[in-house]
Amino acid sequence: MSEKQFTVAVVGATGAVGNQMISCLAEREFPVKGIKFLASHRSAGRQLRFKGELIAVEELNESCFEDVDIALFSAGGSTSKNFAPAAAEKGCVVIDNSSQWRMDPEVPLVVPEVNAHAVSQYTKKGIIANPNCSTIQMVVALNPIHKNYGIRRIVVSTYQAVSGTGKKAIDELFDQTRAMINFLNWENRVYPHRIAFNCLPHIDVFLDNGYTKEEMKMVNETRKIFEDDTIGVTVTTVRVPVFYGHSEAINVETKRPVSAAEVRGLLEKEPAVKVMGESGMTNPLQTVSTCGWWLTIFERAQPPMPFRLQRFWQENTYRAYV
C-alpha cells in the first residue's frame, strides 16, 4: 500500500520561518504531492526552490486553498485571523504559527513531544495552534518532570536571539555590529534601542500588569499545554545580540522530591533532547542547523528547597517552530 501524500500550502513562504518550513518538509521527506508558496502581493512572482524545483510564489487569497490538505501559516496574527478560517472551511487542516489562535479554547495548542493527544480537538475549528518558540523549548524539557514529579513553580529567564523577530532584525544586528567595529554611524529601525553589544529586557509591548506580552504568552501557554492552571510561572524575557538560538535559564520547584540525577535519567530518554554535563556546556551556536534541543543540568543544591532544579537550555529558534 503506497504512502498517503498531501498537498501543502506554506503561507508566509518568503519569510524566515517560512523558509525553514520549506527546508524541513524536504529534509524530513514529508510525503508532499504538491506544494504552494503563498505570500503578500509584494512577494508574488518570486521563485523559491523545493527539492530542486523552482516554484513561483502566489499572492495569498481565499481561493488559494482549493484542494489543499495542510496549510502551514507563518505570516503574522492578522493574516492568520483573516485567512485561517477560510482555509479550514475548505477542508484544509491549518497549522498556525502566530499568536492569533493560541488561547482560543476551541483551538488546541500543541507541542507534539508534550501533548500530541490534543491534536484531536482541531476538528472544532480546523486549526492547530503552535506555541511561542520560548514556550516550546521550555515545556519539552519540563514535561517529563511534570508527569513524574509534578511542577509547582517555574522561574525562567530567556536570552532570545534576534532571529525571533525576523530577517529585518538579523540584518539590523549585522549592520550595527559592522558599523560599530568600523567606527561608523549606526541606525536602529527594528528595536527601540541598539541591539549590537547590548541586551534589551523588552520583547513585545508592556501590559498593565508590568509584564511584557511575550512574558505573559509563556505564562498562559505553559498552563494551557500542561492543562494545569495551578502552576506558578514567572518569566523575564530578554533580547540578546545573538543571530540564532534562544537560551533559557530555568528554575523549577517540584511537588515531590527529585534530584538532578533523576531528571538527567528522564531527559536522556527523550529522543529530541541532548543532555550535556557542565563540562560539555551548551551554547546557541550548537543549535544552528539542528532540529533538537540542548540542555545542561546544573547540579546545584538549594537548601532548604530540596525540590528545586536549575538548568540551561537552547534551541534553534526557527526549527523549534517548524
Query: Which residue bears the cell 519540563?
Result: 142
For residues 261 and 283, give the distance between their C-alpha atoms in angstroms, rounded to a whole number: 21
**Catalytic residue check, 246:** yes
Query: Which residue bears the cell 537548601?
Result: 303
Whole-angstrom CA distances from 191 to 55, 166, 240, 243 are 34, 12, 11, 14
Torsion on CA atoms 4, 90, 21, 216, rounded to nearest 10: -130
Active-site residue among 64, 92, 146, 246? Answer: 246
DSSP result, 147-166: HHH-EEEEEEEEEE-GGGT-
For residues 117 and 96, give the distance between their C-alpha atoms in angstroms, rounded to a whole number: 17
Active-site residue among 133, 193, 199, 202? Answer: 133
Give CA 286 to chain center in angstroms.
17
Amino acid (1-letter code) at residue 38 = L
Query: What are the two backbone dihedrals, phi and then psi, of residue 197, each rounded to the nearest 5 degrees?
Result: 55, 35
Query: What is the torsional sign of CA 57, 164, 219, 203?
Result: negative
Which positions are annotated as active-site residues? 133, 246
